[in-house]
Amino acid sequence: MKCLRLSFIITGIMLLSACAHSPLPKNDLSPNRLALDNLHPLPADIPLHPEDIPGNDNAARAALFHISDASPASYAWRILYRIPDFEQHPLYNELLARLLLSRDEAEAALHVADTRLDLEARFRIYKACHSYLVDVGQEKKADTLFYRLKQSFPRKERNSIYFTLHMMDFYQIKGRYKAAVKYFKKAEKQVKQGIVPDKNHLDIFHNLRQTAQVAIQEKDYETALSIASAMESMIDFTPLSRPLPGTEEAQDMSHTVFLAREDWSQPGTGRSIAKIYILRIYSETGEKNQVLRLYHELMKEWHEALKARYSGKSFESRLTSLAEALYTGGFQEEALDIINQIPKTFPFAIHPDSRLNPETQIILQSDLRRYNFQRPKRIKRIIALRIAALMGPEMNEEQTLSWIKTGTDPSWYRDLLIRATETRLEAGKNAELFLSRLNEIQKKHHYKEPAALENRRIIRALLLADREAEAQTKLKEEMQKIEKGLYGSDKAEQLAALARIFVEKDSISAEKILLKALSLYDDTETESGKIDNSIQLMTTAARRLNNGDLQNEILELHRKNLLENVSRHATGLGRDRHLEKHFAALLQAARTRLLFNVRDNITRSLILECEELISHVENPDLAYQLKFRTAELWGSGGWFRDAYRVMEGVPVSEEIFPFLITRMRQNVLGYNAFSGSQTVRFDTDADGKPDFFSPLASEDAIKATGLTMDTDMDGDGIPDTIDLRPWFPDP
């Protein structure tokens, strides 16, 4: 027995040493090497107990958790490991760094970035590491990353304009404005010498625009104008077009359309978008002559774009931003005239990509025709809404009303009036005329819902303007209308909609309204597979309240309403489609419970029902997709061994799961029940390192590690499991 105990101690020591930051030789990508990097999970049957670890401290528990199957990083790693030749994937090393970082292995992640990643990927990882270190309270260490990043590049590469502009962006994002300006000045000199970037132009223009925006906030208009001038110098170097895949010629391509996973861009679209960025800078710094010059250039380019041969949706979607910039820059007439320069129907055609089958071509043609017909009016309406929002607090009410009546589509009148009223109230101004017109609209049209949309938005605007007394008066009026005019679920729906408005500013009022809505809820049948609107609104509002009993009651209604209104019997043609709808209902019910951090047997039973349903799906590709989504659901709850079990036998490839790598890069596969602002990191042993990368895990996730933990770690006599953070001592 002593020998066995000794072997366990040795095993524990070896496992802890495996957690150390070992160097990652660039060419050694074998599974064994990666196992030493503490990424490949251990077999589930290895017995691990606290007494096997010297000291029995939190760091040891964290280490054991990291190498167990109950780890999001290990789960993501296993999925990646099953992609054929995954070591050769172009994003492999960046994913490796991200997985290390998700395990609190920041030093190892930085080592991978320093030794294996190119300039852009290295900057992405350093930005992620900086955010992570700030999140865990290590601001001083985060500040050292700027110098370390600089030193990780050879001197020659540090002199490139790409490095300079990326450093500017890094400093700007992290709130180091003066350092960002220093790097911009260096880039400005390079541009004046004729050294300009030859790729990723739109990203660079966007970053420069962001830096200029900060300069304007800092009242540093000279720097903002210098940035605009540098951007203008770079515009001419933006490529006009690029070759079509499989051809040697460069084609004229208009805007952007999704064809066989390719983005096609009109020649000059990038230049037009860059000019809009520059125009916004000039508008915000009061350079009216420059604004007018760029406006005329852009309108000329817009009319040329309308003559283009191919299809898309890039330049036209920026017209809203252009109109807004013109209006704020003092060119109200020009801003309003943009609406008139958008045709009723776009004339775009589609490029006949020979790689696509005829059926796909027909679908794309149909989508484009729909886009060409629907999009123009939508863009015009968005422009009108933005201008109405700007007019609200700036112009007198009579002028604004006159424009809304005569200068826009009559069908937009109500929406524009609501938007102008909102912004005027938020600015702290009275809006008697606007409010009287809205009351007239309600009386004239006899809207079914007493708590009409405009009234809710007016209450919200009053709350945002800290005019609580007026908001409460308006609320009482709406409550009286609801009491007199509605019944059952309709009544509950309107009350829930009102509760949502008060959640952020007045949680007590929100809770009272929600309780009343719950008491009035009429559990009637709805269309198959669709949730009752009142329950959906109640669920959204309840998530932000601190009332567990209320949340549990609403969650149960949410689950019943979803599942009782979907048929469980599927036969004949369209069977898989029917099963998919049922799966979607189960998925929504389970995911909602997890968003509320409810990881009980009901949640598990919903996910298990998803698994059982998949066994009846006939299409193997659909079954693979549903299994993957079910595995993600298990992972969201911290039940990673269940996730592994579901994924057994599922072939993993980017062909089957086209967004797999993207989801890995965004850490979607990881356990993340709470938003970043609510996540708390712990360092109970004061070693300067957080104990666990996922501090809010469930007891099921703890048990999955194979560890037995002291239920009163701080010895105060209060069981730690009563706390919302069952892994940690009482605060």
Domain ranges of the chain: 43-70+652-730, 570-648
Per-residue pLDDT reduced to its tens digit, 567-595:
655 555 568 888 888 898 898 899 888 88
Cα–Cα distance, 361 to 363 (Å, whole number): 5
**pLDDT beyond 50 at 255:** no
**pLDDT beyond 80 at 682:** no
Nearest alpha carbon to residue 543 among 697, 675, 405, 730: 675
Do 594 and 673 meet the contact criterion of CB atoms below 8 Å apart?
Answer: yes
Q: What element of type H or E holds 417?
A: helix 413-426
Nearest alpha carbon to residue 98 among 113, 78, 81: 113
Of 84-98, 112-126, 442-456, 716-730, give the lowest mean pLDDT range.
716-730
Cα–Cα distance, 121 to 709 (Å, whole number): 39
Nearest alpha carbon to residue 257 among 190, 214, 311, 186: 311
| pLDDT number for residue 487 | 77
Burial class (CB within 10 angstroms; exposed 0-12, middle 13-18, buried 19+) of 406: exposed
Q: Mean pLDDT score of the chain, rounded to an integer?
A: 74
Q: Residue 290: CB partners within 8 Å, gap ≥ 6?
A: 228, 279, 282
Q: Which residue has the tokens 């020591």?
A: 13
Most confident range (mean pLDDT) of 31-35, 394-398, 464-468 is 394-398
pTM higher than the cut 0.85: no
Cα–Cα distance, 624 to 641 (Å, whole number): 18
Cα–Cα distance, 536 to 716 (Å, whole number): 42
Of 84-93, 352-361, 654-663, 692-701, give the lowest mean pLDDT range.
692-701
Mean pLDDT of 415-431: 92
Mean pLDDT of 389-409: 91
Mean pLDDT of 521-540: 67
Of 325-334, 439-448, 566-575, 642-651, give the lowest mean pLDDT range.
566-575
| pLDDT number for residue 214 | 96
Per-residue pLDDT reduced to its tens digit, 696-707:
334 444 444 333
| pLDDT number for residue 73 | 65
Cα–Cα distance, 270 to 264 (Å, whole number): 12
Structure tokens at 462: 């009053």
Structure tokens at 308: 């283009």
| pLDDT number for residue 221 | 97
Q: For 654, which DSSP code?
A: T
Residue with the bigger pLDDT between 49 and 602: it is 602
Residue with the bigger pLDDT between 710 and 591: it is 591
Most confident range (mean pLDDT) of 152-166, 561-575, 618-632, 657-671 is 152-166
What is the rounded end-to-end Cα distance, in angstroms, of the chain?
39
Strand partners, 39: none
| pLDDT number for residue 308 | 62
CA dihedral 33, 36, 41, 46 (to 10 degrees): 120
Nearest alpha carbon to residue 623 among 635, 611, 632, 633: 611
Strand partners, 262: 259
Per-residue pLDDT reduced to its tens digit, 297-343:
999 988 877 776 554 446 787 899 999 999 999 999 999 999 999 99
Looking at 136-220, list the stretches that DSSP marks H as alpha helix, in order from N- to C-terminal side: 139-151, 155-158, 161-173, 177-192, 201-217
Q: What are phi and psi of 708, to 5 degrees?
A: -110, 130
Do 131 and 676 meet the contact criterion of CB atoms below 8 Å apart?
Answer: no
| pLDDT number for residue 481 | 83
Query: Residue 95's CB: how many other CB atoms inside 10 A?
Result: 18
Do 323 and 386 meet the contact criterion of CB atoms below 8 Å apart?
Answer: yes
| pLDDT number for residue 522 | 60
Of 64-68, 155-159, 561-565, give the lowest mean pLDDT range.
64-68
**pLDDT beyond 90 at 354:** no
- Residue 548: half-sphere exposure toward Cβ, Cα within 13 Å: 3
Q: How far is CA 71 from the centre of its chain?
A: 23
